Each structure stands twice: as C-alpha cells, then as structure tokens.
Structure 1
Amino acid sequence: MLRGLYTAASGMMTEQRRHDTVTQNIANINTTGYKQVNSVKHSFPEMLVSLVGDKESPTPKRIGKLATGVFAEESMSSFVQGDLKETHKGSDFALLSNLGLNDPATGDPIPFDASGKYVNEDGEVIYRPQAFFTVMDNNDQVRYTRDGGFTVNAAGDLLTSQGQRVLDSDGNPIVLPAGQSIDSLKSDAQGNLVASDGNAIATLGIVVVNRPQQLVRDGNGVYRADDPDAADIRELQAGDGAEIRQGYLEVSNVDTAQAMVDLLSAQRAYESNQKMIQYYDKSLDKAVNEIGRV
C-alpha cells in the first residue's frame, strides 16, 4: 500500500513540474525568439516481481514487472523555426534557419521530422542544427539568441532588447558610426550591415550549433554553451540554409492550442494522483484505528 502512496506522490510532483513548464511557455507566447520547453518524464527503475517456490517447485516463478513511480527527468527546448512577423523596422532582424545535416555513415541528408528530430537505426537521437545571433553579456561572456530586436545606445553600441552587445563575425561588439541611425541600416541575407552612406559597417555574427540540445537556457531567450565542443559550434557558411530577414522578427514557436491541452491534461493527472493519496490515507486510517482495535 505504501508503494502506491509513493507512486501517486511522485506523479503529483511530476505533473506539477509539467504544469509549471507549460505555464512558462504560455507566459512567453509574445516573447520574440522564445523556444518552447517540453518536460520529459521517465519512470523509476522497474522491479521484477517473483513468486517464491515451495517444496514441490523450488524454482521461483516470475510474475512480471512493477513500476515504482515517475519523475520529471529534464526540460528540453524545442528549436523549431518560429513564424516571422513583419515589423517594417530596419532595426529588426530575423533568422530564417533551415539547416540540414548529412548522415556520417551514408552521406545522405538526414530526414528530420516536424519537431527537428531524427532517430537512427541504433536509437541515437539527432537534432537539426540551428543558427543563432552571437551576443556578449555584461560579464563579457558569449551568449546565443534568436531575438533580433536590436537597439543602439548613446555610444553607438548595437544592443539586444536585453542590453547585451551584438557581436560581429570576428567576435567583436558592433559599433555604429557617429550619427548613424539604426533604422537606416541596410542588411543583406548574409547579415552584412551597410550604413546610409553605402559604407560597410560589419557582418552580424551568426553561428551554427550542430547539437542545440547541448545549449543551456540563460533566461530571456538567451542560451549559453557550457561545453562548446559538445555543442559543436561553428561559423555560418554560405549555402548552409540560413539567412537574415531585415524588417522581421521571429515570434515564439509555442503552439497555443497544444499548450492549453497539455495544461488541462497535467491538471487532471494531478487531481487523479491526489485522489489516490486520499484513498490510501483513508485505507491506512481504517487499518490503524478500526481493524487494529480488533
């Protein structure tokens, strides 16, 4: 009986975390470049239940497996391309990323599914590479984002909406010439910025992360790479399948309808586990206070 109590309690904690994850997604529906987060559940190690043998059949008999609960293993970001919203502002930039990857064994293009995932014959999960703007935070640490809503401060530094400095292809902060208006900037599909007088300013620093699931969320749609080698980060090259769209912003890729379904599902599952705990509590109360008196 206590095993069932613990199983129901673990289910409640898992559904609470799932509820919190979906709520976070819904709260960021209007956040530029936000990537949906999905909660991954995993069962506790299963136990093999056996029947102890008697004198006639000393060999134990296997009855079957018994699950001992569930837990929220991790929260994974979905880097699926979000829709582009036209803003008609020269300071807004969107990354249109449709990168591919070849199978190292056969050399053929990998057929990713709609979620940007592919599972090979060995069960290995491969994710579609993604392109990101490179930025620098206040501690001079390189970060990655898909939020291209840029601004300029009094010193001419090109900044993100969170105040981080936008880097060029050489890893240096981009500084606009004196008197240059950000709205009059011109950019081509490769991110080459040109001033209003026709002079080249810089090239937006864009990288390709071949293993985007190795990135760690740093808040406000910004990611960091604790292990750049594991993330396999490289510079964007011509023909990679990614381009810059000036005057556009990439909106959140959260599926609103599915998020509401997941929210209600998590709530119902939480209530079901809660009722099971109440049932076990009443059963234990009866066993101790009524049957125990006999």
Structure 2
Amino acid sequence: MFRGLYAATSGMMAYNRQQQVLTNNLSNAITPGYKNDITAFRSFPQQLIEKMGGPNSLSSQAGTLSLGTYAQEAIPQFTQGIMKQTSSPTDFALQSPTLVFQVRTANNEIRYTQNGQFLVDQQGILKTAAGDEVLSRNGQQIQLSSMDFQVDEQGRITEAGQPVGQLFIGTTDDPQSFVKEGSGLLRYEGQNAPVAAANGEPLVTQGYLEQSNVDMTRIMTDMLRTYRGFESNQKVLQAYDQSMQKAVTEIGRV
C-alpha cells in the first residue's frame, strides 16, 4: 500500500517541477534568443515482484513494478525564433539556432549567449544587457568610438570604413551540452568548446533580434495538462489516506 503513496507523491513532485519549467518558459516568452525548455521524465528503478520459490528461482518472477517517476532535467529546444527588425546598431540576430556569441563575465569566466541585444557603455565597450563583455574572435573586448558602426554577415565590424574587429560567433555539434545559467548566459559542459564559425554562410544580421522560440499556445495547454496530472496524483494520495484511515479505525476494532 505504501508503495502507491510513494508513486503518487513522486508524480506530484514531477508535475510540480514541470510546472516550474513551463512558468520559466512563459516568463521568457519575450526574451530575445531564449530557447524553450521541455521536461524529461524518468522512471525510478523497477522493483521485481516475486512469488514463493526463492528470489533466484525462475518461477519466482511475476513481473516488475515501477516505484514512481521524477523530472530529471529541462532540455532546451534549439530551434530558430522569428527575426524582428529593430534598426538598432547594437542588436544582432544569429542566423542559426546553434550559433552563439562569446562573452566574458565580471568573474573573468567565458560564457556564451544567443541573446544579441547588446549595448555600448561609456567607455565604448560592447557589452550584453547584463554588463558582460562581448568578445571578438581573438578573445578580446570590442572597443568602439561611436554608435556609427557596421557589422556584416560574418560579424566583421567597421567604423568609417576602417576594420575594428570581428565578433566571435561560435558553433558546436553538441548544443545539448549548453547549460543555462540565467541572464541569457550559457555554460558549455561538452568535450570540445564551441569554435569560431567559418566564414561563408551568413552568420549574423545587424539591426535585428531573434525572438524567443516559446509557443505561447502550447505553453498554456501544457500548463493545463500539468495541473490535471498533479490533481490526479493528489486524488490518488487522498484515496490512499482514506483507505489507511479506514483500516486503522475498523480493523483495529475487530
């Protein structure tokens, strides 16, 4: 009987975790470059149900029973969002869902981002909205003297016709190794760090932003389904509670 309690409780916890992921997706529906997360569910190791005859007897196997489920991880979906024209010189839209910009945080750590909504600070340094330095292909900060600059499709920056640098636009064959850290930052945990994309195909467009790939209609539907799943497990838990209460009060009197 208690096994059913554990299964229902684990189901409630898993749906609660999924609701948190969906809520985070919803709150980032207008965040440029944000990639929608989906929840991966896993079953607890199954338990062997045995009959009399000993645990090693072939005739003892009567099947298996799962002990519940849990939400193991949130997996980002690297699909392209809609491009929106902003005409701002510090807005950049990546042309592939697996391309990334490279940035340096205040702790001198290398991170990546797909949010191309940048700014130029008072010192003329190109930074993210959170204040992280946007890096060039040679790993240096990008220094600008004005807002009158151009960036071509390969990320090359020019001012008054003179080259200033080139944005680091990285690519990887394993985008699932990116881990979200908040503020649009990605940490790479794969074997080989993203490398600069080869020149040739268009990589970036200035004056545009890639919108979030969150589907609002699907999010609302998934949130409703998650609520129903949580409610169903809750009712199972209540039924077990009533059964145990009845067993204690009635069987105890006998």
Check the 8 A contact 1:95/1:132 in 2, yes or no. yes
Q: Deviations over 1:121-174 (max 9, x none)?
A: xxxxxxxxx210111111111110011111111111111111111111100000
**Mapping of residues 158-169 of structure 1, within 5 Å:** 158-169=126-137
Is residue 2:247 matched to residue 1:287?
A: yes
Query: Match of 1:5?
Result: 5
TM-score norm. by structure 1 comes to 0.82
One-letter code aligned to 2:198: Q
Q: In structure 1, what is the Cα distance between the partners aligned to 2:172 and 2:180? A: 14
Q: In structure 2, what is the Cα distance between the partners aligned to 1:217 and 1:238? A: 27
In structure 1, runs of 5+ residues without a counterpart are 99-129
Query: Match of 2:140?
Result: 172
Check the 8 A contact 2:32/2:211 in 1, yes or no. yes
Query: Match of 1:153?
Result: 121
Distance 1:205 1:65, change over 3 A: same
One-letter code aligned to 1:290: E
TM-score norm. by structure 2 comes to 0.94
Per the TM alignment, residue 218 of structure 1 is displaced from its structure 2 partner at its CA by 1.3
Stretches (4+) displaced over 3 A: none
Per the TM alignment, residue 51 of structure 1 is displaced from its structure 2 partner at its CA by 2.3
Match for residue 190 of structure 1 among 137, 154, 162: 154
Q: CA RMSD in A?
A: 1.7
Check the 8 A contact 1:167/1:205 in 2, yes or no. yes
Per the TM alignment, residue 249 of structure 1 is displaced from its structure 2 partner at its CA by 0.2
For this pair of structures, how many residues does the alignment match? 252
Check the 8 A contact 2:125/2:142 in 1, yes or no. yes
Query: Match of 1:217?
Result: 180
Check the 8 A contact 2:90/2:120 in 1, yes or no. no
Query: Match of 1:15?
Result: 15
Is residue 2:16 matched to residue 1:31?
A: no
Query: Match of 1:258?
Result: 218
One-letter code aligned to 1:260: M
**Mapping of residues 1-294 of structure 1, within 5 Å:** 1-53=1-53, 60-97=59-96, 130-177=98-145, 180-181=146-147, 184-195=148-159, 197-225=160-188, 227=189, 230-239=191-200, 241=201, 243-294=203-254
Task: Describe the SS at the equivalent of 2:157.
Answer: strand
Check the 8 A contact 1:8/1:276 in 2, yes or no. yes
Per the TM alignment, residue 213 of structure 1 is displaced from its structure 2 partner at its CA by 1.4
Q: Identity of paired residues, percent?
A: 39
Task: Describe the SS at the equivalent of 2:239.
Answer: helix
Q: In structure 1, what is the Cα distance between the partners aligned to 2:49 and 2:122? A: 70
One-letter code aligned to 1:214: S
Per the TM alignment, residue 231 of structure 1 is displaced from its structure 2 partner at its CA by 4.5
Q: In structure 2, what is the Cα distance between the partners aligned to 1:232 and 1:138? A: 20
One-letter code aligned to 2:195: R
